[in-house]
């Protein structure tokens, strides 16, 4: 669906002085009146959802809310929506559609009243309301989705990649020649097929990199290479807002980048480079090395991920915020295809905009197999940072890149690399987590690695076999900590001393003493006192029972242990 701009909507509204609202409607534009009476709210929201579903099942479109039909003048037709809350309405549409439809609602203030523009993306049909109503846009009408139409949709699916949409009446003259030359240079030095850069004719070159289709542009073409006028007309949502914060709530610098994507990337990288800080650390055999707080490898991956995976239907900006201890990149549109912050490291790559991703891949900027997340994790860990982390809801994804360096960890990784002791990404994740948390078991390891428990257990066991870790306990209940020398280097002497575990005999005596003192312990209390997991705690108490020191009383949730010895007076 071609994006409809505010100026185009205003031009349509001007026609209401002479034509009814029906005359400005089309397969992608619907006008709806809005009764501000609270009693009519539920029925109006229900009707609006059905219209949204019908548009999403076809090409997408815009609902102009607050315009009545069959009126003779614009003053009569533009009635407005009163104080209707766009955020609440957006949530009501989202919650009342299946699969959920995430609309973008824009406010339009006209002399006659306040309107809301409900931008509906082309979805992955069939969509229905939560009440089971399925409709599809046919011409200017929303018709029931039944029979052959439903079969066709299910069989063919729908095009959801807005960046692949061909823009009518567009051409190579809408592109910036300097940006085409920039793309040629990148393709020649970094692209998958450098010979493409040697195609003399610009139109043929762009056709070969799939940014020109039968002489017309796609949205991806405009995003990458468009002139300012083309970007303003067809991609007004393309903007990166950069802020440098001097405190949690105040920034001392802001820049809004709205140009072609490749130029914007270069400009932001320059801004970040100018503000980079270095941490000096000593490495055996190297003397001192300077570790940057943020490398352009990680920053570029974060920015490219935001640009490639953002929802271009939503008219919102990408935000890049630089703090003293982190870089945050927030992009419009939630995760898709089952990706979550808890599985992004392992989930097969899912792309909202494959056409744009393919163009960037041919230029050598994006890896087709989705290694960008891995690359960011490994880059930061090797520099002694914490792992990146994501936060997401249905409308936004926020990526946080920590910038504070642990000199000890950076030194450790550099020395292991120099000694040719290869540390894989999973090794680095576990070791960095241990340097912060002190202990890991198969369950906490699985959380850090975003993998099944048995895979995490094997990674921890492998690190133990290579003499990085010590194990406490046996079997599934085993937990791991850094060996003393490594813990001293990464955690410090005091933290290591505080967390040294007593041996099993000392733990046994401690549990026995507390049991005799209190007279009663639950299994949960035994686990807390001993540090054992369930299996280890049960084994310990079974030994005490066999020796006549403890007794098991009760069953199920009421089960507990009591001392089998008489308490001293």
pLDDT at residue number 412: 93
Contact predicate 125/57, CB 8 Å: yes
Confidence of residue 566 (pLDDT cuts 50, 70, 90): low
Q: In sequence order, what E strands does 211-335 have?
A: 212-213, 216-217, 240-245, 251-257, 278-283, 287-292, 318-322, 326-332
pLDDT at residue number 67: 93
Q: In 18-28, which positions are buried (b, 16+ CB within 10 angstroms) versus exposed (e)?
A: eebbeebbeeb
Contact predicate 31/69, CB 8 Å: yes
Q: How many residues does the chain have?
A: 569
pLDDT at residue number 162: 80
Helix (H, G, I), strand (E, B) or coil at 553: strand
Q: Please, what are the domains in the chain?
A: 6-156 (3.30.950.30), 172-234 (no CATH), 241-396 (3.30.565.60), 423-499 (1.10.10.10), 504-563 (1.10.10.10)
pTM summary value = 0.67
Q: pLDDT above 70 covers what percent of the chain? A: 92
Model confidence at 89: pLDDT above 50:
yes
Looking at 12-26, 205-219, 326-340, 501-515, which range is the least confident one? 501-515
Q: Tens digits of per-residue pLDDT, 130-170?
A: 888 888 888 788 888 766 555 555 444 444 578 888 888 88
Query: What is the average per-residue pLDDT within 74-102?
Result: 91
Q: Tens digits of per-residue pLDDT, 252-271?
A: 999 999 999 999 999 998 99
* Cis-peptide, bond into residue 352, ω within 30° of zero: no
Return contacts of 271-275, CB within 8 angstroms, 24+ apart. 271/242, 272/296, 272/299, 272/322, 272/327, 275/244, 275/322
């Amino acid at each position: 669906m071609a994006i409809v701009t505010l100026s185009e909507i205003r031009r349509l509204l001007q026609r209401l002085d002479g034509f009814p609202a029906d005359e400005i409607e089309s397969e992608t534009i619907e006008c709806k009146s809005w009764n501000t009476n609270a009693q009519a709210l539920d029925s109006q929201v229900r009707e609006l959802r059905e219209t949204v579903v019908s548009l999403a099942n076809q090409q997408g479109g815009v609902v102009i809310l607050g315009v009545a039909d069959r009126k003779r003048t614009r003053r009569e037709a533009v009635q407005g929506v009163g104080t209707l809350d766009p955020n609440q309405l957006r949530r009501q549409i989202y919650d009342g559609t299946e699969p959920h439809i995430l609309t973008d609602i824009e406010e339009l203030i006209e002399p006659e009243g306040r309107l809301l523009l409900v931008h509906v993306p082309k979805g992955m049909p069939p969509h229905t309301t939560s009440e089971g109503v399925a409709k599809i846009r046919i011409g200017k009408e929303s018709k029931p989705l039944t029979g052959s139409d439903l079969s066709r949709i299910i069989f063919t699916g729908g095009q959801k990649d807005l960046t692949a949409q061909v823009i009518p009446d567009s051409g190579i003259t809408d592109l910036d020649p300097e940006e085409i030359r920039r793309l040629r240079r990148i393709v020649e030095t970094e692209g998958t097929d450098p010979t493409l850069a040697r195609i003399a004719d610009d139109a043929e070159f762009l056709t070969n990199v799939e940014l020109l289709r039968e002489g017309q542009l796609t949205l991806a073409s405009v995003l990458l290479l468009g002139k300012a006028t083309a970007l303003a007309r067809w991609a007004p949502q393309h903007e990166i807002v950069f802020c440098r914060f001097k405190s949690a709530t105040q920034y001392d610098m802001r820049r809004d980048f709205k140009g072609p994507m490749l130029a914007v990337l270069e400009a932001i990288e320059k801004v970040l480079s100018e503000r980079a800080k270095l941490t000096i650390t000593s490495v055996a055999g190297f003397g001192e090395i300077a570790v940057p707080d943020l490398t352009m490898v990680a920053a570029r991956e974060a920015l490219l991920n935001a640009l490639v995976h953002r929802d271009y239907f939503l008219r919102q900006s990408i935000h890049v915020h630089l703090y003293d201890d982190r870089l945050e990149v927030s992009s419009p549109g939630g995760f898709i295809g089952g990706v979550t912050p808890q599985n992004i490291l392992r989930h097969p790559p899912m792309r909202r905009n494959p056409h744009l991703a393919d163009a960037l891949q041919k230029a050598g900027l994006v890896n087709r197999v989705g290694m960008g997340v891995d690359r960011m994790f490994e880059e930061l860990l090797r520099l002694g940072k914490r792992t990146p982390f994501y936060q997401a809801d249905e409308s936004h994804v926020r990526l946080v890149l920590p910038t504070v360096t642990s000199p000890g960890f950076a030194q450790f990784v550099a020395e292991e690399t120099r000694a040719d002791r290869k540390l894989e990404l999973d090794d680095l994740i576990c070791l960095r987590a241990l340097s912060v948390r002190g202990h890991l078991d198969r369950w906490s390891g699985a959380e850090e690695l975003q993998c099944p428990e048995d895979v995490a257990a094997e990674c921890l066991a492998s690190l133990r076999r290579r003499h990085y870790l010590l194990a406490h306990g046996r079997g599934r209940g085993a937990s791991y900590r850094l060996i003393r020398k490594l813990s001293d280097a990464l955690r410090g002497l005091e933290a290591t001393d505080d967390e040294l575990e007593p041996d099993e005999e000392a733990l046994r005596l401690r549990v026995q003493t507390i049991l005799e003192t209190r007279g009663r312990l639950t299994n949960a209390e035994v686990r807390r006192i001993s540090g054992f997991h369930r299996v280890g705690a049960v084994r310990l108490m079974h030994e005490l029972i066999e020796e006549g020191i403890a007794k098991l009383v009760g069953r199920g949730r009421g089960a507990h242990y009591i001392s089998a010895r008489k308490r001293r007076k």
